[in-house]
Amino acid sequence: MDFLKKLGIEGTNPGTSTGQKFYGSGAKEKLSSYTPIDNTQIADTTITTREEYDKVVETAQKAFKEWRMVPAPKRGDIVRQIGLELREHKEDLGRLVTYEMGKIYQEGLGEVQEMIDICDFAVGQSRMLYGKTMQSERPRHRMYEQWHPLGITGIISAFNFPVAVYSWNAMIAAICGNVMIWKGSEKTPLCGIAVQNIIAKVLKRNDLPEGIFNLITGDREVGEWMTEDERIPLISATGSIRMGREVAKTVGARLGKTILELGGNNAIIVSKDADLEMAARAIAFGSVGTCGQRCTSTRRLIIHEEVFDQLKERLVEIYKDVNIGNPLDEDTLVGPLIDQDAVNSMQFALNELKKQGGEVVYGGEKLDDNHLEGNNYVRPAIVTAKNEWDIVQEETFAPILYLIKYRDFDEAIAKHNGVKQGLSSSVFTLNLREAETFLSARGSDCGIANVNVGTSGAEIGGAFGGEKDTGGGRESGSDAWKAYMRRQTNTINWSDELPLAQGIEFEV
Ligand code: NAD
């Protein structure tokens, strides 16, 4: 386990940090991290105490006063250096992501690459925090808007992207002049420690104060301290819809801001005019990749009746060839689910489906061969289903692909949009009218809509997020940076009179 050592991870790791300083070595409460590969324990992390939490917030508040006055391109330079440091640690951190979360090593590396990409993006963005200038209706007046940082950005993240989601938020928030407090998932605490250790090297080299990049560790209780805390103006929360509802309620009650990135129930429409082989490959990556544990995983396939059987057979052929096993092995395509709860919820969903009349066309079983220790391995399932069934309406965070038939394109769109979630969506078609309809106002109602590209694997350049129960938040590229700033409209009078807007006369 050389990579753990290189990432600064040992037996018990202090789980609270204000940058270079780590706290909690004496804390009694610990969070143990187990690899889903074979359920062995990797290491411990101490849980942030309420006292430590308050210290972190106070340190962050203090750091904000300095950090907000550092010119944005200079903040960008710190992020540039974090990107370079991540390049140095890409293999080790990618391996830890695989070891602690269970996604295959290629995807672990991909996640770290996403961190590097967002650093590069944020460096450029740091010179482009543009505001508009407006024409004033009053003579010799100038109007413009500018963007200021908010203060502390609280980041709560999910287990399935234990490092990338943090960096989408933190690197953009940082160039905007905010300071960050990150609570990762209680299922992947070591990823947080490793990232914090990497960032600490840059902070040290640049002699930066404590309190800019902060880490806290714990479960939802620690998350609730953040959502209730008026000292944190913005909470960016990634996770289940259940969690999002709670976060929205708590932060909303104190009129704080949120960015919510919640569950998806993503579909691909496969037209009779699709390149079926291309569609099949995109579907396979989207449905079995990360063992069905991506927010953008392909869960529903809405297939034209004329190509339904052909595509079903092709998918079964592909699924039969998928190597399931230790995610650190190079030829593995599907690793384990995160834990036993995930295995059980997959089995529950398949049973519900059968009760409704669905047919398991392929897979679905638990795999407990000797070489797959840990009982977290499953064979990805292909099932026939109806869109309106309750279980199809839910996001089961496991590799279950629902096959649903359609006859005409409007019906396909109605089925596609006929769920509560609205994250990622695709159509596979070579028919221009279908493609454009799908992307039009009467097409997909999702935050992400693709043509001849699967639902999974977004690039960081676009704004990422979804509508409806997915929460409406946007992160990463495009103008997502604006959510981490407050807009200020300024009017300057350089005349020697005081005209009022709307021509109002008010003589005093
Ligand atoms: P989860 O909701 O169980 O936990 C997510 C995080 O929220 C954890 O850090 C947890 O400790 C914290 N939390 C839970 N309840 C809280 C509360 N009441 N207040 C404050 N914090 C709370 O989710 P998970 O199982 O870790 O992740 C899987 C889910 O995340 C799936 O639904 C998936 O679709 C979603 N997800 C969405 C995106 C996206 O960008 N839309 C990305 C990744 C994952």
**C-alpha 373 to ligand 1 mean position (Å):** 27
- Candidates 17, 12, 42, 43; CA nearest to 27 is 12
196 lines ligand 1 (CB under 6 A): no
From residue 440, give the alpha-carbon distance in Å to each of 311, 443, 450, 462. Answer: 26, 5, 12, 18
Q: What gap in Å lies between CA 447 and CA 454, rounded to an integer?
A: 14
**Confidence at residue 369, expressed as pLDDT on a 0 to 100 scale:** 66
Beta-carbon contacts of residue 372 (< 8 Å; ≥ 6 apart): 324, 325, 326, 336
What would the pLDDT profile of 448-481 be if each residue is shown by its tens digit?
999 999 999 899 999 999 999 999 999 999 999 9
Q: What gap in Å lies between CA 179 and CA 152, rounded to an integer?
A: 5
224 lines ligand 1 (CB under 6 A): yes
Q: Which helix (H) or strand (E) holds 426?
A: strand 424-428
**C-alpha 290 to ligand 1 mean position (Å):** 16
156 lines ligand 1 (CB under 6 A): yes
What would the pLDDT profile of 371-394 be if each residue is shown by its tens digit?
667 789 999 999 999 999 999 999
From residue 63, give the alpha-carbon distance in Å to each of 179, 181, 198, 209, 235. Answer: 7, 12, 19, 6, 18
Beta-carbon contacts of residue 296 (< 8 Å; ≥ 6 apart): 264, 266, 286, 423, 424, 448, 455, 456, 457, 458
Contact between residue 452 and residue 102 where contact means Cβ atoms under 8 Å apart: no
Q: What is the mean pLDDT of the chain?
A: 97
Q: Whose CA is nearest to atom 10 of ligand 1?
A: 220
245 lines ligand 1 (CB under 6 A): no
pLDDT surpasses 90 at 260: yes
**C-alpha 107 to ligand 1 mean position (Å):** 20
**Pocket of ligand 1, candidates 216, 225, 243: which has the most ligand atoms within 8 Å of its Cβ, to mutate?**
243
Give the tokens for residue 451.
């043509």
pLDDT surpasses 90 at 299: yes
**Pocket of ligand 1, candidates 100, 101, 160, 474: which has the most ligand atoms within 8 Å of its Cβ, to mutate?**
160
Instruction: Provide the 3-class DSSP secondary structure of residue 261.
Output: strand
Instruction: Provide the 3-class DSSP secondary structure of residue 181.
Output: strand
**Pocket of ligand 1, candidates 48, 107, 236, 295: which has the most ligand atoms within 8 Å of its Cβ, to mutate?**
295
- Rounded mean pLDDT of 85-104? 98
**C-alpha 162 to ligand 1 mean position (Å):** 11
What would the pLDDT profile of 322-375 be if each residue is shown by its tens digit?
999 999 999 999 999 999 999 999 999 999 999 999 999 999 999 976 566 778
Beta-sheet pairing, 400-406 with 421-422 = unpaired
Residue 121: phi and psi, rounded to 5, are: -60, -45
Q: Can you tell me which atom of ligand 1 is nearest the CA of 187? A: 26
111 lines ligand 1 (CB under 6 A): no
**C-alpha 473 to ligand 1 mean position (Å):** 14
**C-alpha 166 to ligand 1 mean position (Å):** 12
Reported confidence tier of residue 1, pLDDT bands at 50, 70, 90: confident
Single-letter residue type at 21? K
**Confidence at residue 371, expressed as pLDDT on a 0 to 100 scale:** 62
Q: What gap in Å lies between CA 96 and CA 9, rounded to an integer?
A: 10
Give this complex's ipTM. 0.98
Give the tokens for residue 200.
């600490």
Reported confidence tier of residue 264, pLDDT bands at 50, 70, 90: very high
**C-alpha 262 to ligand 1 mean position (Å):** 7
Q: Whose CA is nearest to atom 30 of ligand 1?
A: 239
Q: Phi-psi region for residue 482, left (φ > 0), alpha (ψ -120 to 50) or beta?
A: alpha
36 lines ligand 1 (CB under 6 A): no
220 lines ligand 1 (CB under 6 A): yes
**Pocket of ligand 1, candidates 238, 245, 247: which has the most ligand atoms within 8 Å of its Cβ, to mutate?**
238
219 lines ligand 1 (CB under 6 A): yes
Residue with tokens 């977290």: 376
Rg (CA), the chain: 24
DSSP conformation class of 291: G
**C-alpha 263 to ligand 1 mean position (Å):** 8
Contact between residue 412 and residue 459 where contact means Cβ atoms under 8 Å apart: no
194 lines ligand 1 (CB under 6 A): no
235 lines ligand 1 (CB under 6 A): no
Q: Whose CA is nearest to atom 8 of ligand 1?
A: 185
CB atoms inside a 10 Å sphere around CB 344: 13
Instruction: Provide the 3-class DSSP secondary structure of residue 380.
Output: coil
- CB pairs under 8 A, 24+ apart, for 135-140? 136/491, 137/501, 138/493, 138/495, 138/499, 138/501, 139/495, 139/499, 140/493, 140/494, 140/495
CB atoms inside a 10 Å sphere around CB 481: 24
Q: Whose CA is nearest to atom 9 of ligand 1?
A: 185
**C-alpha 226 to ligand 1 mean position (Å):** 14
pLDDT surpasses 60 at 277: yes
Q: Phi-psi region for residue 277, left (φ > 0), alpha (ψ -120 to 50) or beta?
A: alpha
Lateral strand order in the sheet of 448-451:
359-362, 381-384, 400-406, 298-304, 266-270, 424-428, 448-451
- Rounded mean pLDDT of 210-233? 98
- Candidates 11, 23, 36; CA nearest to 290 is 36
Q: What is the 3-state secondary structure (H, E, C) of 324-340?
A: ECCCCCCCCCECCCCCH
- Rounded mean pLDDT of 41-45? 96
161 lines ligand 1 (CB under 6 A): yes
- Candidates 421, 422, 423, 411; CA nearest to 386 is 411
- CB pairs under 8 A, 24+ apart, for 431-438? 431/271, 431/273, 434/271, 434/273, 434/409, 437/409, 437/413, 438/269, 438/413
223 lines ligand 1 (CB under 6 A): yes
251 lines ligand 1 (CB under 6 A): no
**C-alpha 203 to ligand 1 mean position (Å):** 29
Instruction: Provide the 3-class DSSP secondary structure of residue 430.
Output: coil
395 lines ligand 1 (CB under 6 A): yes
**Pocket of ligand 1, candidates 111, 118, 181, 240: which has the most ligand atoms within 8 Å of its Cβ, to mutate?**
240
Catalytic residues: 261
- Candidates 401, 288, 296, 300; CA nearest to 337 is 288
158 lines ligand 1 (CB under 6 A): yes
Q: What gap in Å lies between CA 180 and CA 196, rounded to an integer?
A: 12
